[in-house]
Structure 1
Amino acid sequence: MRKLKSGIDGFLGLAGLAGIIIMTVSVVLRYCFKLSLSWSDEFLRTLCIYVYFIGSAMMCAEGGLMRLELLDDSLKKKGRVGAYRTVVKIQRLIETVCFGAFSFQMVQMTIGLVGQTSTTSTTPAWVSPLGCAIGMVLMTLISTSKLFFEKSELETAD
């Protein structure tokens, strides 16, 4: 799992660097030389989709996604370990179901676009939504793993 995370982090870093370089070259060519890279806008848009959704999956793995913690904090302060564990399990179950539903929809959408091209270029239409589908499937796998295998911080403290 560590190697996978390291590989994904490397991909995200290289994708960010590639995006910066392509955007800079595109702007310089457009405004200094009056030349345009016709493919750069669509490439950057697609790259942004991949980085956003795969990066969100990595945030999910690290516990960095934003959520409402009022109930969690209240139960922790009151020392209600059993209630806290139940709330965490329910939250993780809801996460898993929602991410799974989104994954299913994105995979179906991506498959439905096979054979079509984008409206702005000859790029296959399934390339952009595939980034979202990959990210959503990763989030589903991560949340499922957390639901069944990861202990909450109060469980590890006991």
Structure 2
Amino acid sequence: MKLIYWLDNNLEKYILVFLSCFTVIIIFTQVVMRYVFDNSLSWSEEIARYAFIWMIYIGVSYGVKEQKHLNVDAFSMLFEKKGKIILSMISTISFFIFSLIISIYGFDIVVKITRESAALQIPMEWVYAAPAVGMALTSIRLIQRLVLQMKELKSLKEEKGYDLREGAV
């Protein structure tokens, strides 16, 4: 149970830190090789690009978890707290549907890829898996967010003296 709790709180964060450090090290090594040793690594650009692709899609999931994505709140400002929560739930459900579709089609594409990368000769399935895995993680985070929004809506109704099963008390 502690492992699941740790993964829930830290998975994306540690993956993003690792990929960021890895990318910086690879690019720094390439710069040193090119300008100090007058030689370059043929594979450094490719691996940095692939790490960056993974960072983008893992970052989407992390953004959902931390609620750091940009949103337009001009329309929601017209509503009270209950309306804002409902609009937020509609937004979360829409994003969930989008991320689920991307995940499903992404995994479908991954199983069809048979190429290898040019410089590293790694299977391109690893690169094409980034959107599928990232959006699958995003879907999980969106479900968590929707559960929190439903609890928030329920507690708001209970604060105002409403019982969800019977209407007004």
- 1:1-158 matches, cutoff 5 A: 2-4=5-7, 5-75=9-79, 79=80, 81-113=81-113, 115-147=114-146, 149-151=147-149, 155=153, 158=159
Equivalent residues of 1:46, 1:128 under 8 A apart: yes
Equivalent residues of 2:43, 2:119 under 8 A apart: no
Q: Which stretch shifts more, 98-107 or 81-90?
A: 81-90
Equivalent residues of 1:53, 1:136 under 8 A apart: yes
Equivalent residues of 2:107, 2:132 under 8 A apart: yes
Equivalent residues of 1:117, 1:125 under 8 A apart: yes
Q: Runs in 1 of length 4+ with deviation above 4 angstroms? A: none
Equivalent residues of 1:29, 1:35 under 8 A apart: yes
Distance in structure 2 (CA, Å) of the matches to 1:21 and 1:84: 44
Unaligned runs of 5+ in 1: none
State the structure with more CA Rg: 2
Distance in structure 2 (CA, Å) of the matches to 1:29 and 1:128: 26
What's the CA shift string for 1:86-142, capped at 9, x where partnerless? 3222111111111111111211111111x3212454121111121221111111111
Structure 1 residues 15 and 121, CA gap change in structure 2 (3 angstroms)? closer
Distance in structure 1 (CA, Å) of the matches to 2:59 and 2:86: 28
What's the CA shift string for 1:38-76, capped at 9, x where partnerless? 11111000100111110111111111111211122221x
Unaligned runs of 5+ in 2: 160-169
Distance in structure 2 (CA, Å) of the matches to 1:90 and 1:60: 15
Q: CA deviation at 1:24?
A: 0.6
Distance in structure 2 (CA, Å) of the matches to 1:58 and 1:154: 21
Percent identity over the alignment is 19
Equivalent residues of 1:57, 1:135 under 8 A apart: yes
Distance in structure 2 (CA, Å) of the matches to 1:7 and 1:46: 19
What's the CA shift string for 1:9-56, capped at 9, x where partnerless? 122112211111111111110122121111111100010011111011
TM-score, scaled relative to structure 2: 0.80
Distance in structure 2 (CA, Å) of the matches to 1:71 and 1:153: 23
Higher relative contact order (CA 8 A, sep 6+): 1
Amino acid at match of 2:102: F
